[in-house]
Amino acid sequence: MPFAFCTREKFPWCEFAEEAENGPTTKMLADLAKAYNMVIIHSILERDVEHGETIWNTAVVISNNGKYLGKHRKNHIPRVGDFNESTYYMEGDTFHPVFETEFGKIAINICYGRHHPQNWMMFGLNGAEIVFNPSATIGRLSEPLWGIEARNAAIANSYFTVPINRVGTETFPNEYTSGDGGKAHKEFGPFYGSSYVAAPDGSRTPSLSRDKDGLLVTELDLNLCRQIKDFWGFRMTQRLPLYAESFKKASEPDFKPQIIKESSKPSN
C-alpha cells in the first residue's frame, strides 16, 4: 500500500489492513523466509479481527523456518507536520518484545519511536542484540537527526541498530492540506532513504542512497554487545530504581519539576 497516513483519508486505505499472523503478506513472506533461510521483518497495517477489527501499525517477525514468531505494535504515534497517524491507529499495546532467532535477539523500534530514548532503552533491557527501525520519513522533517539518533541508541544500549528509511515520493488522487498555510497538494515526500547499520562501539556502515532503492549487506559480530557492556559497565551504573521512582513521580497529575531557585530573602 502507499504511505497514505498523511492525507487523513481512511478510504480506500483501510482496505489494505490485514491480520498479522494469517494475513496474505505474512503467508507470502513465510515461504520466502523458509526458502532463503532468513528472518524477515515486515510492516503492515494490522486489522485485529478478534478485538473489534481495530487497526494498528505493526511489524511482524517470521523465523528462517517460515514460522510466525510474533508482532510488535508501534508504541509512539506522531502528531507533527503531515504525520497525524492517530486518524488510523493509536499507541501500541505490545510493550517491548524481543524475538530470539537463530541469528540473534532482535527487536523493532517502529518509525517515530526512534525519537524516544526510553523506547530504545526498554528493548535493551529485554535483551535485544539488534534493533531494527523501519521508517518512512521525509527530508524536511527529520533528516538532520537521522544519522544521530540510532547511532546514539546503539552506544547507550550496547546493541546494534539498523535504521531503515524508504525512498521516493507518494502521489495521491485527492489534494490535501498540511495545516501550515500552504497550498493543497497531491504529493508527499521525498523520503530520503539513507539506511545504515550502527554498532555499540559507535562505528557505523556507510548509508544507502538518498533517492534509489538499495540493499545493504554487512556482517555483525554480536560478541561486541557483551564486550562493550563489560568495558563501559553501563548496566552496572544505570541505576534503574532511581529512575523508576523519578518516572513514577513524573507520571502523576500533581508532579512538580525538581527545580531549585535562588531565594528572594536577603541573607544575613
H helix and E strand count, the chain: 6, 11
pTM of the model: 0.96
Q: Is residue 260 part of a domain?
A: no
Q: What pLDDT does 34 receive? A: 98
Strands (E), 109-240: 130-135, 160-165, 167-176, 185-192
User: What length is written for the chain?
Assistant: 268
What is the model's pLDDT at position 105? 98
Of residues 74, 6, 79, the one with CA closest to residue 45: 74
b/e burial code for range 161-199 (CB count within 10 A of at least 16 → b):
bbbbbbbbebebeeeeeeeeeeeeeeebbbbbbbbbbbb
Question: Is residue 165 one of the residues assigned to a domain?
Answer: yes
Q: Total domain count for the chain? A: 1
Strand ranges (E), 74-179: 79-80, 83-84, 99-101, 104-108, 130-135, 160-165, 167-176
The reply to whether 259 falls in a domain is no
Alpha-carbon distances of 90 from 24, 56, 179, 238, rounded to whole Å: 23, 7, 21, 31
244: in domain: yes
263 within domain boundaries: no
Q: Which residues share a beta bridge with 171?
A: 187
CATH code of the domain in which 152 resides: 3.60.110.10
The segments of the chain whose pLDDT lies below 70 read: 267-268
Residue 178 lies in a domain: yes
pLDDT of res. 268:
67
Domain presence at residue 266? no
The candidate with the shortest Cα–Cα distance to 73, out of 86, 83, 58, is: 58
Q: What is the pLDDT of residue 263?
A: 86
Domain that holds residue 175: 5-251
Q: Which of 53, 52, 42 is nearest to 19 (CA)?
A: 53
**pLDDT score of 267:** 67
CA distance 144 to 195: 14
Return the percent helix, strand and coil in the chain, to nearest 5: 30, 25, 45
Distance CA 115, CA 76 (A): 9
* Domain assignment of residue 257, yes or no: no
**pLDDT one-digit tens code per residue, 213-262:** 999 999 999 999 999 999 999 999 999 999 999 999 999 999 999 999 99
